[in-house]
Structure 1
Amino acid sequence: MTSAPVQATSPTQRSADFPGPTPAQLLEFVRRTAADADLVAALPLDPEGRTWVRLGGPGGSEAWLIGWPPGAGTGWHDHAESIGAFTTAVGELTENALAVRLPTEGWRSLELAEGNDRRRKLPPGGSRAFGHHHVHEVVNESPTEHAVSVHAYYPPLPLMRRFSRTGSVLRLERVERPEDWQ
């Protein structure tokens, strides 16, 4: 990329501290990739577990093509300092997200105030871009159909925090590093 960095005032602008692709650029990439029917059809699908293939993303980002069997989900997690975007290519995914920024360290359990839950249905072409520390879970709620999606993150995921949730209480369960999922 050759555009000059500018001070960020929104998630779609660059900052001097963030020279990579913007959430909008990642979103454009995942949408374009999801439209590649041959690529999407080539993903092997497993009836019991998620499958994935790592892709090259724009501007040094990391990208994944992911297959979701019926009922599969990620559980609650965030992507730490990475921004990201994803889109559904086949089927329908549901994103449950929190509309609150969590502290990055110094806690093991938090009680969430009412009104922070967001739910989005993402049919084919349904997309989502997000900023740093976005806490969500993604689920294929279909009892019979696979879903396929494309995801991109920048910088490449340094870690993911995994959470459990009981009612309004969110608990940090573990921190995963790239070697845990590659």
Structure 2
Amino acid sequence: MSPSAHPRTPDSTHVPLPGPAAPSAPSQADLLDFARRTAADASLVASLPLDPQGRTWIRLDGPGGSEAWLIGWPPGTGTGWHDHGGSHGAFATAAGTLKEDSLAARLPTEGWKTLELAEDLDRSRSVEAGKGRAFGPHHVHEVRNESTTEHTISVHAYYPPLPLIRRYSRTGAVLRLEHVERPEDWQ
């Protein structure tokens, strides 16, 4: 009788052999490392076409199935307030400086159109060339190039790939959900 045809008895145990390991999801640290290394790739950064009027981008292959982008920011451009639909992420600046304003609070993701924010939730930071930032799945922020003369270039990575982006407007302490974008809106 061949080994594969050997009958199993009730007291025998079957131990499956380990198969190939499933790739693990990239962590915030993995995404930040990728963004920093990619932002340091001078030839890739130089390949991005820059437009004086609007942001430009190239889609990249991120680690572990993540979504990644190389983005050019003309002077004075920004994202407005938004979140990343439950994905965690990171970004690193390759050239210039990005300014990030964020909220130090976990907001509900469903069931509201307008929220009044408590005091002391605002955070602000500058992310200069060579620097980066990672964030969790409930991060709400706006990012912009405040320069009046120079483009900024950055690398962004998200996992899981962005299922949606919620766009907000803000007036003082009031944050209002304006609309939801789906991947087909930006790809």
The answer on 1:28 being equivalent to 2:33 is yes
Unaligned runs of 5+ in 1: 5-18
Matched-pair identity in %: 72
Tell me, what secondary structure is at the counterpart of 1:161? strand
Which of 77, 101, 105 does residue 106 from structure 2 map onto?
Answer: 101
Matches within 5 A, 1:40-79: 40-79=45-84
State the Cα RMSD in Å.
1.4
Aligned to 1:180: 185
CA distance in 2, matches of 1:88, 1:137: 15
Aligned residues: 168
Give the TM-score taking structure 2 as reference length.
0.87
Q: Which residue of 1 aligns with 2:161?
A: 156
Q: TM-score, normalised by structure 1?
A: 0.90
Query: Distance between the aligned counterparts of 2:141 and 2:172, measured in 1?
Result: 15
CA distance in 2, matches of 1:83, 1:49: 25
- Report runs of 4+ in structure 1 exceeding 2 Å deviation: 1-4
**CA distance in 2 between partners of 1:64 and 1:133 (Å):** 20
Q: Distance in 2 between matches of 1:47 and 1:178?
A: 25
Q: Which amino acid aligns with 2:119?
A: E
Q: 2: distance between equivalents of 1:59 and 1:147?
A: 27
- Give the alignment of 1:104-123 within 5 angstroms: 104-123=109-128
Gaps spanning 5+ residues in structure 2: where?
Answer: 1-19
Amino acid at match of 1:124: A
From the superposition, tell whether residues 2 and 117 of structure 1 become closer, same or farther in structure 2 (CA, over 3 Å).
farther
Larger Cα-atom Rg: 2
**CA shift in 2, pair 1:115/1:30, >3 Å:** same
